Amino acid sequence: EIVLTQSPGTLSLSPGERATLSCRASQSVRISYFAWYQQKPGQAPRLLIYGTSNRATGIPDRFSGSGSGTDFTLTISRLEPEDFAVYYCQQYDRSPLTFGQGTKVETK
Amino acid sequence: QVQLVQSGAEVKKPGASVKVSCKASGYTFTRYALHWVRQAPGQRPEWMGWINAGNGNTQYSQNFQGRVTITRDTSATTADLTLSSLRSDDTAVYYCARGDNNRWYFDLWGRGTLVTVSS
């Protein structure tokens, strides 16, 4: 099973600041098989990025993804108030599909 | 409207089984896969398995040791998850989520169904 480890656990930032979230995989993941989700309390996760760097439909361009091999990054260029949430990475390269433990982006 | 609508909350005793339903609408049901993902309180999502809504093929996570069954009804455009031999640590919100048949990221999610296992 591919284990995904996200860092940091919590990111305390102000609106307008840049957020950089990391996800490290225990084995190499092909770039077409990596995604990021946003989750707010009481809601289902929402797809942000698939295939490492492709924004899902309706996702603003302040969200971007990058990476390869075992190291992947989600960047939010300028935080908007609605971006404060928990973010999960996911690999779908090998079964079982797995998720990271999440990074909470909170207001400083 | 493209959506997945799930059945309501359930309370079950240890050892029982639970069935959670997911009704798809607004898209061609048989062109996509439906996955089941659960999330215990404060935990990361956990993938359980998926069904190809077109041909009915399934694949399950080994982490559930044969306790999971996923079925679909193409005429009703529904997919059902059955989890058996329930334990207290199966208490979680269970989500159905739509995926491509070849790329298993999830672009559409149901709102979730809370399953509570308690004696």
pLDDT, one tens digit per residue, over B53-102 is 999 999 999 999 889 999 999 999 999 999 999 999 999 999 999 998 88
How far apart, in Å, are the Cα atoms of B65 and each of A3, B84, B88?
A: 19, 10, 16
The pLDDT value given to residue A18: 98
pLDDT over 90 (residue A91)? yes
The pLDDT value given to residue B65: 82
By Cβ distance, the residue of B61, B97, B105 closest to A96 is B61
pLDDT over 90 (residue B103)? no
* Pairwise CB contact (< 8 Å): A44 & B63: no
* Pairwise CB contact (< 8 Å): B107 & A57: yes
Closest-CA distance of chain B to residue A43, Å: 7
* Pairwise CB contact (< 8 Å): A92 & B103: yes
Average pLDDT of chain A is: 97
Task: Supply φ then ψ for residue B89, to 5 degrees.
Answer: -80, 5
Among residues A76, A72, A56, which one has the least CA distance to residue A64? A76
Distance between the two ends of chain B, CA-based, in angstroms? 39
- Give the integer Cα–Cα distance in Å for B28 and B39: 27
Nearest-Å Rg of the Cα atoms of chain A is 13
By Cβ distance, the residue of A50, A57, A101 closest to B105 is A50
Q: Identify all chain B residues contacting A93, using CB atoms and an 8 Å cutoff.
A: none
The pLDDT value given to residue A94: 95
- Give the integer Cα–Cα distance in Å for A83 and A13: 11
